[in-house]
Amino acid sequence: MKKYLVAFILLIQAAAIPDLAFAHGERAQQAGLRMRTVHWFDTAVSTTKLNVNDTVVVSGSFVPSVNWPEHMAGPDGTAFLNIGVPGPTFVRVDSRVNGMPMIRSTRFYKGQTYQYSITLKARTPGRYHVHPVLSVKDTGPVIGPGFWVEVGGSQADFQNTVKTMTGETIDLETYGMGNIAFWSLLWFAVGLVWFIYWLTKCPIIIPRYRRVAELGDKADDIITPTDKKVAATLLAVTLSLIGFGYFWAQDEYPITTPLQTGIVHLPEIDVSADREVDVTVADARYRIPGRSFELTLDVNNRSGKDVKLGNLTVANVRFVDPSVIDIKPADSHDLVASGGLRVEGGPIKAGESARIKVFAEDALWETYRLTSLIYDPDSRFGAMLYFYADDGARDYVEVGGSMLPVFM
């Protein structure tokens, strides 16, 4: 009996010990949703090691997919560029998209390219996985690539001061804490007085409920004149406190501005004029035994240079042909499949069209649960293709469509 009791206690203890959260569940969303929502690229952090009070800049570009699932609200409704970190470990200092300050929500249109930059100030020491995030109304967060950032120093040294429009310098970490504590305790005391008064009028809860049920229409007789006087007194006290608080705040803070809730309209970056490679998907298959994504593409190269396909990105996983472009993983967790891309039929000559066959093969298909796409009721994929010329020029094209699973 004792050994069973010991085993039960150990099981409870093991369940009570929380696992460390090393990332933000990039693999939790369905593969089709990750592929067809937002294409993030050129994502980078200015530094991976800093101290409290130092800043780090998360920057890059993204394209909302033209293959966005129809059953999900799109980013052209209401969306907000956010940052994904585990708790209040950083303070957002600045956020911009296409050069426009992003303190409010906006609309992002499918197929458009957006360049962003988010400046964060380190607040709490630790090691954190930092992601850009696009929060879409009625859809939720769409998570971009993540980077591990290590913060040293002491949180006691953290400073978060700003200068107001009236010229006053305030510490946002402690500003208004006295008022918050005073009013919280005051309203708690009012509620406690009301609760204690009724607590003394035994019996309460179930016995009183039964008594009310027995009396029926005469239940109001339970309320005594003293009860009515106490209720009226507390009502008067409550209204007086509300009125006093209003006029005190008006006198203490005569200059105020309301919270801003308008939509910011972003200037567009027109990259269509620079795009000189057109791609049509002729066939798309996922070969399950070999963990191989196979694409047959018709490519029209309208540029004056020969181009080669060097990078295929799906759901933040980059499949790279190292003979075309050398992309080094930022760290051991960066989703780069070096050597995971194989192309038959390239390069595409200047001013010509060609059919090429593309193979994206790597264990990351399984590791990041992208193979679950074959079980979706709508087996459609979305991907970004990057073509490179010999002089380093790059052209990117989004592709998407139905995908056929191959079981043999």
pLDDT in tens, 342-370: 999 879 999 999 999 999 998 888 888 88
Mean model confidence pLDDT for the chain: 87
For residue 287, which amino acid is it? R
Q: 44 near 388, Cβ under 8 Å?
A: no
- Which range is least confidently modeled, 25-29, 72-76, 79-83, 95-99? 25-29
pLDDT band at 13 (very low <50, low <70, confident <90, very high): very low
Query: According to the model, what pLDDT value does residue 212 have?
Result: 79
What confidence tens digit (pLDDT) does each residue in 212-225 have?
A: 788 888 777 788 88
Q: CA–CA separation, 107 vs 102, rounded Å?
A: 11
Alpha-carbon separation of residue 274 from 132, 158, 271, 307, 397 (angstroms): 26, 45, 5, 14, 11
Task: Report the run of H or E that residue 346 belongs to, with start and end.
Answer: none
Query: According to the model, what pLDDT value does residue 224 have?
Result: 85
Q: CA–CA separation, 224 vs 222, rounded Å?
A: 6
Most confident of 62-71, 165-174, 235-244: 235-244
Query: According to the model, what pLDDT value does residue 15 have?
Result: 43
Distant-in-sequence, close-in-space partners of 395: CB < 8 Å, separation ≥ 6: 274, 275, 276, 277, 303, 307, 386, 387
Strands 55-64 and 114-122: antiparallel
Q: What is the pTM of this model?
A: 0.81
For residue 185, which amino acid is it? L
Q: Provide the percentage of residues in the chain whose pLDDT is more than 70.
A: 91
What is the rounded average pLDDT of the residues 97-102?
92
Query: According to the model, what pLDDT value does residue 272 have?
Result: 63
**Which residues are registered as beta bridge partners of 95?**
118
**Stated length of the chain:** 408
